[in-house]
Every structure is written in structure tokens, then in C-alpha cells.
């Protein structure tokens, strides 16, 4: 075309080859996206069914509450379930205050600058450490250097290191979702920064914050590698295996699953492992469901939003 002025394009045809082929491409794309999304759901369902079929025959009241056995069949996982919750609780006690305060600092207080970059960089680096490496660090520091041996506390502190970055990120993102107008409104009413954080900003973020915390809790609950060498792979030998002493060894359910499968002498090791896997899976799924429900409830309660 020699003409500099572009010719007026022809009106788009209402039908014809071009329109048809575009419609076909659109359908193929829709179908592919739908298939990919369905595959995710299908995999989850298949996985749950598999674990359920494998494990359900092992489940009994005795299995859920009984003590583990070291040489004969018929051992339970009661103390392991207890230990999983106990270590989770200890971990949250350490993680939450540090992570929330650090997250508030980064999101609300720190202006751009070296210190904020340093904290952010440290958190991101910490987040990339594989859990087995963190476990070995815990082994060296808590077990050997402090001479604690395998303890619930050592395990919880190791998990704290492992999950601080995620918890901090959860806090930051929850706060980032709070509209700036709330901050302005609060400050304009003569609130100090800390009052604004405490009374306006954190309460507005309570829903996503809780959801995030419970989701991270699910991960802590299922963590294995970091605990094998720190909390140990046997339950407490104290008066009861249900033991609140943080300086006693405390094998969690996830570690039990691993150690039973790997090194147990009991004849029903596979069955116990399958049963443990099922219990673990159900617990972690529960965490996810609870996270959503509690998050929604708290949002409603603190914000009065009828959603």
C-alpha cells in the first residue's frame, strides 16, 4: 500500500470463517482452563480417597488414644497426637508475638531504608532454608550445645525459626489489605500511631490475619524433618507419655509416621503408618476448614460487617 492514510477497516463480519475460528479457539481455551482447574480438585480427591482407603482400617479408639508399642502389634498414637498439638502451641507462643510485631514494624512503622531492607532480606533468606537444615541447626544448638537432648521445647524453637518468615509475611499482607483511609481517619482523630495500630488497623485485619495464622499452623502441625533431630522420635518416658514438660522428648504424629515406616520393629508398622497418615491428613484439612470459618467469624465480630 502506497497510501499513508490507512484505509477505513471493513466492518467486522457477523459470521464467516474468521468469526468461527475465533469462537473455536475461545472454546478450546475455556475447556483447557476448566480441565486444569478440575485436575487440581481431582488430584486432591484421589489423594484423600487413597489415604482414607489405606488408613481407615487402622483407626479405632484404641489407636487414637493408646500408647505406641516398640516390639508388639497394636500400638496407638495418642501421645503423638498430643505432642503435635503441644509443640504447635509452644511454637505459636514464640512465633506469634515476634512475627506480628515485626510485621507491624515493617508495614506500619519502617520507612524505606536500610534497616527495613535488612529485616526483609533476613526474613526472605530465613524462608528459603530447607526444614532439614533447620532441623540440623536445632540439633547442634538445642540438643548438643544446650545439652537439652531431644525436647519439645527444642522442637518448638526450631519450628519458630522455620515459620517466622511465613507468619511475618501473613501479618504484613493482612495489614497491607487495610485501606489507608482507616489510618488517616484514626490519626486525624488524634490517635497516636500505636493506638491506631492497636485499635483500628489490627482489628480491621483480624480476619485475614487469623486465616493466615491457622494455615501456617497446619504446616507446623505436619512438619517432620525439622523435628526428627530436635524433638526426637520417641514419646516421653515420664510418668505418662502425655507429658507437658517441655524438656522431655516429644515425638509428633508426623515424625511417628516417618519413623514407623522407616525403622519400627513392630509387625503392624505399615498399618500404623497408614493410620497415622490418615489422622494427620484429617487434622491438616480441619485446620484449613477452621481457618476459613474462624477468619470469617472474627471479621464479622471485629468489623461488624455482615458478609
Partner 1 sequence: MVEPQQSRLPALRSKMKIDDLNVYYGSFHAMKHASLDVPDRHVMALIGPSGCGKSTFLRALNRMHDLTPGARVTGTVTLDGNDIYAPGIDPVTVRHRIGMVFQRPNPFPKSIYENVVYGPKIHGEGNAKRLAEICERSLRAAALWDEAKDRLHRSALDLSGGQQQRLCIARVLAVEPEVILMDEPASALDPIATSKIEDLIGELKKDYTVIIVTHSMQQAARISDFTTFFLLGDLIEVGTTSEIFTRPTDKRTEDYITGRYG
Using CB under 8 A, list all residues that contact partner 1: 111-112, 179, 181-192, 195, 199-200, 203-204, 302-306
CB of 179 to partner 1, least distance (A): 8
User: Quick one: DSSP state of residue 237?
Assistant: -
Nearer to partner 1, 55 or 203 (CB): 203
User: Quick one: DSSP state of residue 239?
Assistant: S
CB of 47 to partner 1, least distance (A): 38
CB of 120 to partner 1, least distance (A): 17
Cell of 20: 468461527
Cα torsion angle, 124, 128, 131, 137, sign: negative
Rounded-to-integer distance, Cα 289 and Cα 307, Å: 18
Nearer to partner 1, 187 or 281 (CB): 187
Dihedral over alpha carbons 116, 117, 119, 122 (to 10 degrees): 180
Burial category of 206 from C-beta neighbours within 10 Å (exposed 0-12, middle 13-18, buried 19 and up): middle
Nearer to partner 1, 110 or 129 (CB): 110
- Range 5-43 burial, b when 16+ CB lie within 10 A, else e: eeeeeeeeeeeeeeeeeeeeeeeeeeeeeeeeeeeeeee
Contact 255, 231 (CB under 8 A): yes
CB of 117 to partner 1, least distance (A): 15
Nearer to partner 1, 128 or 307 (CB): 307
Nearer to partner 1, 108 or 251 (CB): 108
Give, in degrees to the nearest 5, the angle at Cα 219 between 244 and 104. 90
CB of 119 to partner 1, least distance (A): 18
CB of 187 to partner 1, least distance (A): 6
Nearer to partner 1, 191 or 284 (CB): 191
Nearer to partner 1, 81 or 205 (CB): 205
Site of grid cell 504447635: 88
CB of 108 to partner 1, least distance (A): 11
Amino acid at each position: 500500500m502506497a497510501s499513508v492514510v490507512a484505509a477505513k477497516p471493513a466492518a467486522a463480519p457477523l459470521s464467516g470463517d474468521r468469526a468461527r475460528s475465533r469462537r473455536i479457539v475461545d472454546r478450546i481455551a475455556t475447556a483447557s482452563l476448566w480441565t486444569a482447574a478440575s485436575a487440581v480438585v481431582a488430584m486432591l480427591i484421589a489423594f484423600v480417597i487413597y489415604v482414607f482407603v489405606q488408613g481407615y482400617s487402622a483407626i479405632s479408639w484404641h489407636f487414637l488414644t493408646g500408647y505406641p508399642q516398640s516390639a508388639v502389634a497394636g500400638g496407638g498414637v495418642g501421645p503423638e497426637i498430643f505432642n503435635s498439638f503441644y509443640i504447635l502451641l509452644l511454637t505459636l507462643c514464640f512465633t506469634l508475638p515476634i512475627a506480628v510485631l515485626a510485621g507491624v514494624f515493617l508495614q506500619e512503622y519502617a520507612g524505606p531504608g536500610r534497616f527495613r531492607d535488612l529485616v526483609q532480606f533476613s526474613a526472605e533468606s530465613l524462608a528459603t532454608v530447607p526444614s532439614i537444615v533447620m532441623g540440623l541447626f536445632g540439633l547442634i544448638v538445642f540438643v548438643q550445645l544446650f545439652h537439652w537432648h531431644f525436647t519439645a521445647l527444642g522442637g518448638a524453637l526450631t519450628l519458630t525459626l522455620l515459620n517466622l518468615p511465613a507468619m511475618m509475611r501473613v501479618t504484613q499482607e493482612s495489614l497491607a489489605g487495610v485501606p489507608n483511609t482507616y489510618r488517616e481517619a484514626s490519626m486525624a482523630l488524634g490517635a497516636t500511631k500505636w493506638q491506631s495500630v492497636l485499635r483500628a488497623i489490627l482489628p480491621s485485619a483480624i480476619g485475614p490475619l487469623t486465616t493466615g495464622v491457622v494455615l501456617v499452623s497446619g504446616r507446623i502441625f505436619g512438619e517432620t524433618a525439622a523435628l526428627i533431630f530436635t524433638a526426637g522420635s520417641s514419646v516421653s518416658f515420664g510418668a505418662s507419655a502425655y507429658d507437658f514438660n517441655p524438656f522431655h522428648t516429644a515425638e509428633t504424629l508426623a515424625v511417628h509416621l516417618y519413623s514407623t515406616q522407616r525403622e519400627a520393629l513392630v509387625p503392624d508398622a505399615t498399618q500404623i503408618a497408614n493410620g497415622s497418615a490418615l489422622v494427620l491428613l484429617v487434622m491438616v484439612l480441619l485446620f484449613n476448614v477452621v481457618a476459613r470459618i474462624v477468619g470469617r467469624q472474627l471479621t464479622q465480630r471485629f468489623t461488624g460487617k455482615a458478609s
